[in-house]
Amino acid sequence: MSRPFGMSNASLLKAGWALARPLLHRLDPERAHDLTLQALKYAPLPAPAPDDPSLKVEAFGLTFANPIGLAAGFDKNGAIAHKAHLLGFGFAEIGTLTPRPQAGNPKPRLFRLPEEQAVINRFGFNNLGHEHAARTLKKAACVLGINIGANKDASDRVADYVSGIHAFSGLADYFTINVSSPNTPNLRDLQKPEALDDLLARVLGARDSLTQKFGRTPVLLKIAPDLSLGELDGIVKVARAKKIDGMIVSNTTITRPGATAQDRAGLEAGGLSGKPLFPLATRMLAATYLRVDRQFPLVGVGGVDSAGTALAKIEAGATLVQLYSALVFHGPGLIATIKQGLAVRDLAAAVGSKAADWAKV
């Protein structure tokens, strides 16, 4: 695709968003999201400029061109994973994927809160299943994570996670074990130490059984922001004992902080993401960092919408950062803006530099 008048990739993305946002925000949020995915899937996006070498990150045995990733939930079935690098991401995480296709919860199930720059969803792991994703997924030019979960009606939920390891080994650069979505009944019970110990033992056993064939694929655990510190202690103890490769902090929250509780859409059931989640998720990130004691890296997610908030995640303990909801309000040009703001920093030195302060907030 040629670049009109010499416009850069970032300028084109920003210009396209300026035209598309008024239309998309007049539509039902889920319809707007589906149209966005279709547009990104078929649009012949130009390649972005190479990332500044200062943004390069090594984590989990993988190399990331930059530390900014697309969080799970945006691209549930991997439709645009192979194009995530064209949007400027250093990595992309697809899913959550379950063994069998499932429709998820009844619509409407996605709500915008524009004044708070927040989103509430109660999708319930709607996806097309392992077979479809494994058949259609194209290898990404950036690091690809696959987020796996369990079907709502599974008789053995742990077996569903094991199934995901078998289905996507050889395709995934890393796996995320999602036990923290609030939209599948009782799923968060898998964060309890005894259940988590069994889950990780079986998942890591499946991963290890495939290592000779596919190489060792890192396994990360994604946790909720609504944990007590006592609950977090139990999770980290199990995670360290099982020698997982990393943790993602955090998923959406069932709480409604600040002005969100006063918004009519804020009364909807589901997980809240976006700007109001930032303090809660970053505090949980810092608390996790202090407990992990550098045994493995962390991914910070929740409320990232600027270079400043991305840096705050890193200072709270994140080696890598993910975003999703901010794209709803700022568009894909945000990614280049964040990277530009981070390129002047010594990111490795910044990791965890303010974790103790954040943990007290």
Active site (catalytic) residues: 181
HEC sequence for the chain:
CCCHHHCCHHHHHHHHHHHHHHHHCCCCHHHHHHHHHHHHHHCCCCCCCCCCHHHCEEECCEEECCCEEECCCCCCCCCCHHHHHHHCCCEEEEEEECCCCECCCCCCCEEEEHHHCEEEECCCCCECHHHHHHHHCCCCCCEEEEEECCCCCCCCHHHHHHHHHHHHCCCCCEEEEECCCCCCCCHHHHHCHHHHHHHHHHHHHHHHHCHHHHCCCCEEEEECCCCCHHHHHHHHHHHHHHCCCEEEECCCECCCCHHHHHCCHHHCCCEEEEHHHHHHHHHHHHHHHHHHCCCCCEEEECCCCCHHHHHHHHHHCCCEEEECHHHHHHCCHHHHHHHHHHCCCCHHHHCCCCHHHHHHC
